[in-house]
């Protein structure tokens, strides 16, 4: 009996992949779009919040506190909370996902700026750089490895969270997983979960490589 059941419902049924190729592709693209939209919006807001926190230091604690609070809200609850305002739209999916990236992005950005050695800042001032020049030409590049590290975590966690957004009908790989769960049909679930993992790893790798290229100085250690 169990042998028959397994034969009837294997982990992967390859012909399903071939038949549903268009659907899989569409889900993957939706997933990628939602991830990029959410992280981009998150990065934009995080940049503004970080700028405010760096410019007005006493604001740093309330700002990180607020982003931390956002992060504690369960995602399903947050989607539900926004549905009455934005309906079952992409906005309802993107706003919470972006909000979840803020904690890690803001914290890492602030840590990056804090890690700039005081002597470097002193030298920049002493040589007559304006405060704006100091931030753009010296502090921001030096904070970049921290910001990149934050982006990597934000992207990986967002790829995972996007699967949850399928419950408000925004598609993505989560829809394949839900589909499989409802029908106790393993193939779409396996495909959805695997592609989600692969997407997370690929995006992580891409940002890592961009970060490496942008910070050649951080790759070379002292040789003497």
Contact positions toward other proteins, by CB under 8 A? Answer: 117, 119-130, 133, 138, 141-142, 215-218, 220-224
**27-60: burial string, b at 16+ Cβ within 10 Å, e else:** bbebbbbbbebbbebbbebbeebbeebbeeeeeb
The residue among 105 and 116 lying less far from other proteins, judged by its C-beta, is 116
By the 8 A CB rule, do 196 and 31 touch?
A: yes
What is the nearest approach in angstroms of other proteins to the Cβ of residue 118? 8
The residue among 25 and 130 lying less far from other proteins, judged by its C-beta, is 130
What is the nearest approach in angstroms of other proteins to the Cβ of residue 114? 15
The residue among 112 and 171 lying less far from other proteins, judged by its C-beta, is 112
What is the nearest approach in angstroms of other proteins to the Cβ of residue 40? 25
Least Cα distance to 161 among 38, 47, 72, 66 occurs for 38
The residue among 84 and 117 lying less far from other proteins, judged by its C-beta, is 117
What is the nearest approach in angstroms of other proteins to the Cβ of residue 121? 8
Q: Which residues contact 91 (CB under 8 A, 6 or more apart)?
A: 82
Question: Six-digit token pair at 183?
Answer: 């029908």
């Amino acid at each position: 009996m169990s042998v028959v059941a397994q034969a009837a419902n294997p982990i992967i049924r390859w012909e399903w992949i071939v038949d549903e190729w268009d659907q899989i592709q569409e889900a993957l693209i939706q997933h990628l779009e939602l991830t990029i939209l959410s992280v981009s919006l998150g990065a934009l807001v995080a940049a503004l919040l970080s700028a405010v926190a760096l410019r007005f230091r006493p604001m740093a604690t309330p700002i990180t506190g607020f982003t931390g609070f956002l992060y504690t809200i369960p995602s399903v609850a947050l989607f539900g909370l926004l549905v009455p305002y934005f309906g079952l739209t992409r906005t309802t999916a993107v706003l919470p996902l972006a909000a979840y990236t803020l904690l890690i992005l803001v914290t890492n950005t602030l840590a990056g700026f804090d890690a700039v050695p005081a002597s470097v800042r002193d030298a920049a001032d002493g040589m007559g750089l304006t405060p704006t020049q100091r931030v753009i030409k010296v502090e921001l590049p030096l904070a970049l490895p921290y910001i990149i590290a934050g982006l990597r975590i934000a992207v990986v966690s967002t790829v995972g969270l996007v699967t949850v957004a399928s419950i408000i009908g925004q598609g993505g790989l989560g829809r394949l997983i839900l589909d499989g769960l409802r029908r106790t049909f393993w193939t779409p679930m396996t495909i959805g979960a695997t592609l989600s993992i692969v997407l997370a790893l690929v995006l992580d790798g891409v940002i890592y490589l961009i970060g490496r290229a942008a910070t050649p100085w951080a790759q070379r250690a002292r040789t003497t």
